[in-house]
Amino acid sequence: MKLNIKLVDPSMPLPAYQTNGSVAFDLSARETTTIEPKNQHLFHLIL
């Protein structure tokens, strides 16, 4: 699979596999928040 990425903010890390055996990329968001158990949070990602 080929994935084109446009780097919008050079201070943010690129999507990457963070653990052995990963099947998907880990993404980073510019905001910091704590997600309590059984709750959700919508992060704005520019993909």
User: Please, are residues 46 and 8 in contact by the beta-carbon 8 Å criterion?
Assistant: yes
The Cα 44–Cα 2 span in angstroms is: 23
12 Ramachandran zone, left/alpha/beta (phi>0; psi -120 to 50) = beta
SS3 (DSSP) at 26: strand
What single letter denotes the amino acid at residue 27? L
Token couple for 18 = 């963070």
Residue-wise pLDDT for 1-47, tens only, equals 787 888 888 888 888 899 999 998 888 888 889 999 999 999 877 66
pTM for the predicted model, two decimal places = 0.52
